[in-house]
Amino acid sequence: MIQTNYLIIGSGVAGLTFALKIAEQFPDKKVTIVTKANADESNTKYAQGGIAIVTDKIVDSYEKHIEDTLICGDGLCDEEVVRMVITEGPKRLKELIEWGAKFDKNAAGTLNLGKEGGHSENRVVHHKDQTGQEIQRAISYQVHQKENILVLDYHLAIDLITENNRCLGAYVLDEKTNEILTFKSDFTLLATGGIGHLYGHTTNPVIATGDGIAMAYRANAVIKEMEFIQFHPTALYDASTGTSFLISEAVRGFGAYLRTKNGHRFMPDYDSRGDLASRDIVSQCIEKELKKSGDDCVYLDCSHLDMDGFIKHFPMIYERCKSIGIDLSKDWIPVVPAQHYLCGGIVVDKMGKTSVENLYACGECSRTGLHGANRLASNSLLEALVYSDKIFNYLATTSFEKNQFEGKVTDWKLIEKPAINPDYVAKRKTELQLLMRQNAGIVRNDADLLQAKEELTLWKTEIEEKINKYQINADLCELQNLITIGTLIVQQSIDQVENRGGFVKTDNTNS
């Protein structure tokens, strides 16, 4: 058994910033980060656009950013939470800069602010088109300087340890040795990111399999608003791959146009904001156009833009397109919507506390009330930074009775079992992804959802039998988690009787 004071599951911006702050505050306490890939692999790393923060108070204001967030969330945001997150933005940005994160500046030496869909002003702080990677780099460097932080990569958390609605730690699979380790912790933080590989066509990395939410659900934590899934409207269309390369919304902010194969600019037909309407609107409009035409994709036209300026702002996007033979000065980029972000998740309060004692959640796996029915572009890194700080402040300034941590933790009993055929896991995962894309995608209906529920119920029983019968491995655990997440999304989509934000169900007549 491994004892630690703080167990952090996940190594994106949410988990790392909390680890750094708590380790600085309590140099005598043990902080342990477990992450299932290498420590730098997370959804944070793939965030291209930036962080939405009000820095120019003359042109912009907190009220404008709050209003944009509320409009995008379509009546389901918690206004108190929105106000709290947005007004704390500048403090968290200052912290990132102090930790060494570098952001683009203009000729005057001030921050070069981008504009994205749903924003009324330029307020997106960025580092070219690799903002997440730059933030991850800066925070990771600081984390590795702390002697009381232990980072264990290739360690997959497989279940939380609970007793009387209190989290006492977690069982963790060492993927290199296949040993199951028992971690006993005073506090556990889930910072496990999103669910993208439930859909297959996603902008998320392959690690995004909803593990934290599935574990929290098995531990009886409250999970809400799983039906509100954001599909990014512009992922590079490539029929041969699953993970889609993201063409940042900032490209449309820079002036790119969406067109059909025939060259028609269709977005002004649907929305007065045209190409800069919010993501849910753009994704739904692309879906309609594709259904009308039967085409595989629509196109993003950058050919009229200043190419030198484009390359400076979006070097990664430019190089990726060039590598597959797309010359942006004359060719259009084929794009389709792909699963991008989950707006719901593990319900937390303003301190990041879940409904299970001593269990906290932060970042994309949590449901804070900030996003409502649809997340405003570039509000996610901001949310992760603000909530990791809230959890840190709560744990650093609240006194806890010692006896509340006492609980019986037993080591995982290892029983020799045969290895499962990897073909079974791969086949079932592919079937699951197809089911979710077809039956619980951008536009849903109850008949499809009920059919998916029936299928998922069978698979849930089947996977439980396999876990009892075969040796546990990472692929098997992830498949179980994906089936759990799929079931939650489908059930909460059936229960949702209003079309809001990113959620559209054709049976809903009162929307």
Burial degree of 57 (CB within 10 A; 0-12, 13-18, 19+): exposed
DSSP string computed for 281-345? HHHHHHHHHHHHH--S-EEEE-TTS-HHHHHHH-HHHHHHHHHTT--TTTPPEEEEEEEEEES-E
User: Both tokens of residue 118?
Assistant: 């749903």
Higher pLDDT, 240 or 495: 495
Mean pLDDT, the chain, rounded, equals 92
Asked if the model's pLDDT at residue 407 lies above 50, the reply is yes
| C-alpha pair distances (Å), 210 with each of 37, 104, 108, 366, 466 | 14, 32, 43, 11, 20
Termini Cα distance of the chain = 53
> Cβ–Cβ contacts within 10 Å for residue 203, how many?
28
- Helical spans, DSSP H, in 10-130: 13-25, 62-73, 79-98
Instruction: Give the pLDDT score at 131.
Output: 86
Look at 307-316, 367-376, 403-412, 469-478 and tell me which has the smallest mean pLDDT. Answer: 403-412
| Amino acid letter, residue 142 | Q
Tens digits of per-residue pLDDT, 124-154? 999 987 888 899 899 999 999 999 999 999 9
- For the residues 61-68, what does the mean pLDDT come to? 96
For residues 217 and 369, give the distance between their C-alpha atoms in angstroms, rounded to a whole number: 18
Tens digits of per-residue pLDDT, 82-102? 999 999 999 999 999 999 999
CA angle 445, 448, 454 (to 5 degrees): 135
Strands 298-301 and 257-259: antiparallel
Distance of CA 256 to the CA centre of its chain: 25
Backbone torsions φ then ψ of 342, nearest 5 degrees:
-100, 125
| C-alpha pair distances (Å), 310 with each of 21, 132, 203, 328 | 37, 19, 21, 9
Rg (CA), the chain: 22
Instruction: Give the pLDDT score at 35.
Output: 95
Higher pLDDT, 120 or 129: 120
Report percent pLDDT > 90 for the chain: 78
Decide if 235 contacts 229 (C-beta within 8 A). Answer: no
Which one is catalytic: 279, 367, 444, 500?
A: 279
Instruction: Give the pLDDT score at 43.
Output: 54
Cβ within 8 Å of residue 10, ≥6 positions away: 33, 35, 42, 190, 191, 192, 193, 212, 363, 365
For residues 346 and 117, give the distance between their C-alpha atoms in angstroms, rounded to a whole number: 26
Decide if 248 contacts 344 (C-beta within 8 A). Answer: no
Decide if 371 contacts 52 (C-beta within 8 A). Answer: no
Asked if the model's pLDDT at residue 453 lies above 60, the reply is yes
- Against a cut of 0.85, is the pTM above it? yes
Asked if the model's pLDDT at residue 42 lies above 70, the reply is no
Cβ within 8 Å of residue 169, ≥6 positions away: 4, 7, 160, 161, 182, 183, 184, 185, 188, 409
Domains of the chain in sequence order: 2-227+343-405 (3.50.50.60), 236-337 (3.90.700.10), 422-505 (1.20.58.100)
For residues 471 and 468, give the distance between their C-alpha atoms in angstroms, rounded to a whole number: 8
Is there a catalytic annotation at residue 444? no
For residues 182 and 2, give the distance between their C-alpha atoms in angstroms, rounded to a whole number: 6
**pLDDT bucket at 158, cuts 50 / 70 / 90:** very high
Report percent pLDDT > 70 for the chain: 95
Asked if the model's pLDDT at residue 367 lies above 50, the reply is yes
Instruction: Give the pLDDT score at 264.
Output: 97
Strand residues in 348-442 grouped as ranges (E) = 359-361, 366-367
Instruction: Give the pLDDT score at 511.
Output: 46
Instruction: Give the pLDDT score at 346.
Output: 98
Instruction: Give the pLDDT score at 310.
Output: 95
Instruction: Give the pLDDT score at 67.
Output: 97
**pLDDT bucket at 287, cuts 50 / 70 / 90:** confident
Instruction: Give the pLDDT score at 37.
Output: 83
- For the residues 373-383, what does the mean pLDDT come to? 93
Instruction: Give the pLDDT score at 267.
Output: 97
Instruction: Give the pLDDT score at 182.
Output: 97
Instruction: Give the pLDDT score at 128.
Output: 83
